[in-house]
Amino acid sequence: MRRTTTWRGTPYFEQLETRCLLAGNTCGGSEDETEEIGADDLLFDTAAIGVRDAGSTMGSAYDLGQLGATRSFDGYVGGLDYRDVMRFTIDSDSTVTLGLTELRADIDLALYDSNGRRLAASDAAGTTSESIVADLAAGTYFIVVTPWRWAASTYVLSVGATAHVADPPAEDSPAEDPPADTTDPPVTSFPDVAYYGGSNEWNLNAINAPESWAQGYTGEGAVVAVIDTGVDLYHPDLVHQIWVNAGEIAGNGIDDDGNGYVDDVSGWDFAAGDNNPDDVHGHGTHVAGTIAAESNGFGATGVAPDATIMPVRVLGDNGSGSASSVAAGIRYAAANGADIINLSLGGAFSSVILSAIEYALQLDVLVVAAAGNESATAPGYPARFAASLSNVISVGAHSSAGAIASFSNDVGASGAVQVDAPGVSVYSTYVNDGYGRLSGTSMAAPHVAGLAALALSANSALSATELRSLITAGADRSIGGSDAIGRINAATTVALAAGGQSSTSPSASSQSQSAAPFAAVVRLIFSSIEDDGVPVISAQATDASAADDASLTSLDDLALLSAPREVMRSRRAADDLAVVALVDDASAVLDEEALCEAIDSDEAWDELAWHSQLDALASA
């Protein structure tokens, strides 16, 4: 059952969207009760075979068998039968032709691979016939027939495959040709194209997304997880982009694919603990539309309009959630095939979120995080992890005038790898089939996630680290008032990807090395608790210039991030707690708020007293 909201009225507005904070509260919701329709055992013994009982998921798909000569099937979709899914195989590389004819309403056609990634789609308006022609490798694929909105119609589906024939060997040349020049030509940006759309599409033109589309790179094959307030699963601009878990059968109450989540056909809701990641808040739907809203002639268009969106709901209806839910969402997305994770959220440092992002790095998943809207001198978390993890990139926001947004957090001395993207008055999808304008680094981050999808569609072999390098290498235009690497540019990044380049961006390296050196490394040790509840604190200060990387790491057996006056790690053992801090000024003293945040404890520290040894930091 789809979640509903009491909000009604004109679905068009503009506001500054602050990032969703990790406040620790969740909200309940209802469970998805999608009905499963099983397939009959029909035989291919006539020219026209009915598939009216085709399943509605990949797990219950009607099996068309191995494709060869063109065959036709009749079917019906609409009403409670909201989707027909059919499976076929080809035993060699082939050109597959699909057609949908004799329509009485607007019915659409899509082609997916066995991992649930959409490969192609046809969504002509009205009763116009649909068709897909695709060159496919040997394997198993799925055909999905869906109505647009509330349409219902009978249809005739035609399917066929023609195997590729290898070219005959070339005849011997009478004379040996001179050796070919094997020097790779320099990769240049894609050529400019005409301005796309109108004022609502300023953001797409600002990052040169249409230049990538003109070269055929639209995000096909890339799966982007939106870890947020959910996604409007039935929005007309997103319904065809939603990820489908091929290993799950909807509504049977069984964890068919054994991933620990029952009936997670379209993702998971970690805020409510169910399989319905639908959105009633609007934030996640706006983010998803910026990434991959369909290019269909109406509404909004995403940066990568043919990418697939994996909805992962970790924030409740009020836009807040727990660090543990966010971490679980990151792990879910990485384990279930996401190539890119978008985190348009933020809060305090969290070790569980850090661990989850490190897990995503192990699975080679790029994490794109909003820098934050606090006008601060450094990005918030988790974006600040871009200073130490090669699969994380931080994103600041700029306006249509090419100036940094007043609310956008700087890089400062954090060492974070950060780029800028459109984040002021961005037009995108919203709940209740609506559209709206939002501002914030939450809106900037999905532009980078969409760009990563474009690059992957040009070169699917790119690793997460290589993706980040190409994004920073393409950020070749400065933004007024920003200390980030530059504004993203799809015409350059995707051209580099298509050209096989994956080298690290010099600008990214120089930014990381520009962080100010630390004057002191401070270790605060909580050795005991007095009768009045006040902890006894001792401090050890070390000249940072005299401490090598190994000794810094050994303090807590964890790598330290490059951030000024920032408490980096904490470890609790019985009544002892050791905290490692980096101080950019030897005379600076950590304040109570920073220490409480570092401890990340549920205990009250309002009466926290400073041990006299802390005063010695001034002379450290």
| Cα–Cα distance for residue pair 63/85, rounded to 1 Å | 9
Judged by DSSP in three states, 449 sits in helix
286 is catalytic: no
Phi-psi region of 308 (alpha: psi -120 to 50; beta: other; left: phi over 0): beta
Chain Cα centroid distance, residue 26:
22
How is residue 438 annotated by DSSP? E
Instruction: Please say whether the beta carbons of 293 and 243 come within 8 A.
Output: no
* Crossing angle between the packed helical segments 441-458 and 464-474, to the nearest 10 degrees: 110
How many CA atoms does the CB half-sphere of 520 hold within 13 Å? 21
Residue 72's Cβ-count burial label (10 Å; 0-12, 13-18, 19+) is middle
| Cα–Cα distance for residue pair 146/546, rounded to 1 Å | 65
> Is the peptide bond between 564 and the residue preceding it cis, with omega within 30 degrees of 0?
no
* DSSP line for 115-126: TS-EEEEE--ST
Residue 142's Cβ-count burial label (10 Å; 0-12, 13-18, 19+) is buried
From the candidates 235, 240, 283, 398, which is the catalytic residue?
283
From the candidates 228, 256, 279, 420, which is the catalytic residue?
228
Phi-psi region of 571 (alpha: psi -120 to 50; beta: other; left: phi over 0): beta
Phi-psi region of 425 (alpha: psi -120 to 50; beta: other; left: phi over 0): left
Residues 5-36 as b or e (16 or more Cβ within 10 Å = b): eeeeeeeeeeebbbbbebeeebbebeebebee
Question: Cα angle vertex 578, ends 558, 542, to 5°?
Answer: 75
From the candidates 266, 425, 442, 562, which is the catalytic residue?
442
Q: Six-digit token pair at 430?
A: 């919203």
Phi–psi pair at 146, nearest 5 degrees:
-135, 145
* Cross-strand partners of 311: 226
Q: Six-digit token pair at 524?
A: 């605060």
228 is catalytic: yes
Query: What residues are labeled active site?
Result: 228, 283, 442
